Copies of this chain bind each other. A is one copy, B any other.
Amino acid sequence: MVRKLEGRLVVASHNPGKLREMRELLAPYHIEAVSAGELHLPEPDETGTTFAENAALKAHAAATATGLPAFADDSGLCVEALDGAPGIFSARWAGPDKDFPAAIARIERELERRGALDDAGRRAHFVSALVVAWPDGHEELFEGRVFGKLVFPARGDRGFGYDPIFQPEGYDITFGEMSSEQKHGWSHPQGLSHRARAFRRLAAALLG
């Protein structure tokens, strides 16, 4: 039995960009998003082995600490020829300084080392796992994926992270070259970006 969300929701993220995006997404549903940072909640270690597990760790920790339903996202880029890497380590590959150009150079180097800079080797997808957890331990998971190919060198200075090397199927520009509206694809039947697709599923199940 899926529960509906209403009232206040804790967003279990210390990332101001993610919080802003969630507030925008939730506004039409009259849900008030409170951030884990504003509540001075500690950040749990992301010790899971999947995106869903890491999102659940964060959501349950925030729900337990606040007594409110809590929402968390875990997301990343999976390169098929690298067996899914960087995957749940997408942020870690960029290091504490969030050096994504270095992480992008590493992806290109790892593909080159395997002779996999051809079309098949460049296949990749972004994943977003969204988990809503309630204080009693109940949880709901929604995932979104977008498939595409990697381009080197990176193109575009919009978006963040790996966006400038990811060209979604059916497009000839990268996420780094798209406006926020185009990247999320609100005019697209399922949404375009991984996070937009996961959020559409969440909204259909839990909101409105």
**A122 shortest CB reach to chain B, Å:** 16
Q: A173 in the interface, Cβ–Cβ < 8 Å?
A: no
B49, B51, B82, B141: the one contacting A50 at CB < 8 Å is B82
Interface pick from A32-40, A86-94, A161-169, A181-189? A86-94
| A42: chain B residues within 8 A (beta carbon) | none
Does A97 lie at the interface of the complex (its beta carbon under 8 Å from any beta carbon of B)?
A: no
A78 & B84 in contact (Cβ 8 Å cutoff): yes
Which of B78, B82, B143 is A114 in contact with, Cβ under 8 Å?
B143
Query: CB of A46 within 8 A of chain B?
Result: no
Residues 71-119 of A contacting B (Cβ, < 8 Å): 78, 80, 82-87, 89, 92-93, 110, 113-114
Q: A85 contacts which chain B residues (CB < 8 A)?
A: 49-50, 84
- A146 interface residue, CB < 8 Å from B? no
Can you give 25 A-B contacts (C-beta < 8 A)? A49-B85, A49-B86, A49-B87, A49-B89, A49-B92, A49-B93, A50-B82, A50-B83, A50-B85, A50-B110, A51-B83, A52-B110, A78-B83, A78-B84, A80-B80, A83-B84, A83-B87, A83-B125, A83-B127, A84-B84, A84-B85, A84-B87, A87-B87, A113-B141, A114-B143
